[in-house]
Amino acid sequence: MTTAVKAQLGIAALMFAASPWVINAAPHEATMGLVYKIYFYHMPSAWMFMLGAIVAGVASARFLFAKRQASDATAVAAAELAVVFGLLALVTGPLWARKAWGVWWVWDARLTSSLMLFLIFVAYLLLRQFGGPGSEKLSAGLALFGMANVPFIYVSVNYWRTLHPKTSVVPTLPVEMGIPLWFCVTAFLLLFLALLSLRATLERHRARIDALYLSHDEA
Amino acid sequence: MSAFLRVAALVVRKDLTVEVRSLEVVSTTLFFAVTVVLIFAFGFVKEGVPMDGVAAAILWITVAFSGTLALGRTFERERQADTLRALMLAPADRPALYAGKLVGMLLLMALVELILVPLVGLLFQAPIFRAPFRLAGLLAAGTLGFAAIGTLFAAMLVRARSRDVLLPVLLYPMTVPVMIAGVRGTAALFQPQPDAGMAQFWFALLVFFDVVFVTLALWTFEPLMTD
């Protein structure tokens, strides 16, 4: 573990420990009351989910076309993080929706497309796990196709059915709500980056051991 | 370009010859499609009357299911005889091989749909002759989108373990836009007051999807299929 990763993890841990107080300090929202504060964890998770998906897609493209072996490790790490943060977003979302909209789940464009993207990355991990040798190439193709698919899923689900707060809500937040939000986003981002580099290093070591083992077997 | 077309045509001819001699994939896929529609009929027909608006969904789900089966069988045959490796060793453009396999798949699925659509029309009282060209257009565009991704994934999975399970696991989340567009577009044609504008919109989305994913598949087939 490098010093940078240690520092990131340490700061993220402190920020997460402090986050209940920071979120508590945020003002009450008139219509939803206390429950809206889930949002301070929900939105950063959803953003890290998107970030993970984008990093996995870009790394996969580099692995596939530029034949950069190291990018494959980044892609796996990012895909795993996308699944973890995606799950967080998909669990915290319905908790909030139950209170705000009165139902656990609605077939809204953003929800459904997030769920679909989540499923694509679960499929990615299943392929890595059970695909056997050579599956890193297939999974890279899957991540690439998954990325290209996002706008289509969004548009189709949008026209199929559309209640989710628009993205434009963020800049219009009052400062007292904005500060805790950006505080949480920073904490999540630090955690994401630390885990990404840790997991990618682990994956690189694993690939190296596999290669060494094979070359030893052949010798 | 002419070499590309020639290679693709040769691959199609090879697949058709193999298929005509055995009829393995066509017969099993067709029978499978018919049984799937019947199972849906037992689920969605209440007291002899089909529920409203289920015909479009049943049609497209059956297309997806039987398409998956056909993809799996077609490539399993290539794997068992190791003929896919032989194809890959041939001094031909890889994208041309993909195009050939894709066209073969499309012909097969078109044949299945030719039986499937009247069957759904018959069993679920769907007005399939109300706008036959629009329906055919939606089916053609949707099948192309499904088969374009399916052919690539099935070809990639030939070398993977647990490929039978992994094909639908990878293919279904990826083809959600095809399913939504196909079902909604067809439902717009089947509803009591057909909505041609809506069907048109979904058709356009399908065509756009096809263009993007056929291009992407042609582009990635080479690096994906190279060891």
Q: State the DSSP string of B150-193.
A: HHHHHHHHTTSTTHHHHHHHHHHHHTHHHHHHHHHHHHHHHSSS
Q: Which residue has the tokens 């009357």?
A: B49
Number of domains in chain B: 1
The DSSP output letter for B46 is E
pLDDT at B10: 92
B218 band by pLDDT with thresholds 50, 70 and 90? very high
Looking at residue A175, what is its pLDDT? 65
Q: How many helices (H) and strands (E) does chain B have?
A: 9, 2
Whole domain around residue B141: which residue ranges?
2-225
List the one residue out of A89, A69, A75, A44 whose CA is nearest residue A181. Answer: A44
Alpha-carbon distance B21 to nearest alpha carbon in chain A (angstroms): 32
Band the pLDDT of B141: cuts 50, 70, 90: very high
Do A142 and B227 lie within an 8 Å CB cutoff? no
Q: What pLDDT, in 10s, does the model give residues B15-60?
A: 999 999 989 899 999 999 999 999 998 888 888 788 877 899 999 9
**Nearest residue, CB atoms, B177 vs list A64, A146, A149:** A149
| Structure-token pair, residue A89 | 């977003």
Mean pLDDT to the nearest integer, A168-186: 71
Query: Inter-axis angle of helices A69-100 and A39-65, to 10 degrees?
Result: 150
Q: What are phi and psi of A33, to 5 degrees?
A: 65, -135
Please determine, for residue A91, whether its predicted confidence score (pLDDT) is greater than 60: yes
CB B75, CB B84: distance < 8 Å: yes
| Chains A–B, number of C-beta pairs less than 8 Å apart | 88
| B180/A126 touch (CB, cutoff 8 Å), yes or no | no
Asked if the model's pLDDT at residue A120 lies above 60, the reply is yes
pLDDT tens-digit series, residues B55-93: 999 999 999 999 999 999 999 888 888 888 888 888 888
User: In 3-state terms, what secondary structure has residue B92?
Assistant: coil
Mutate to test the interface with A, among B149, B151, B166 (most CBs of A within 10 A): B166
Using an 8 Å Cβ cutoff, are B164 and B64 in contact? no
Backbone φ/ψ region at B53: left (φ over 0), alpha (ψ -120 to 50), beta: left
pLDDT at position A161 is 62
pLDDT at site B35: 94
Instruction: Indicate the pTM of the whole model.
Output: 0.85
Q: Are B178 and B44 in contact (CB under 8 A)?
A: no
Collapsing DSSP to helix, strand or coil, B45 comes out as strand
User: Which of the four pLDDT bands, split at 50, 70 and 90, describes residue A169?
Assistant: low
Residue A162 pLDDT more than 60? no
Q: Residue B106: its pLDDT value, please?
A: 96
What is the average per-residue pLDDT within B163-192? 91
Q: Among B159, B181, B213, whose Cβ lies nearest the Cβ of A134?
A: B159
Between CA B94 and CA B225 the distance in angstroms is 8
Say whether B166 and A152 touch across the interface (CB within 8 A). no
Residues A139, A124: Cα–Cα separation, whole Å: 6
Asked if residues B33 and B115 have their Cβ atoms less than 8 Å apart, the reply is yes
The amino acid occupying position A145 is F
* B45, β-bridge pairs: B50
Nearest residue to B106 (alpha-carbon basis) of B186, B194, B1, B12: B12
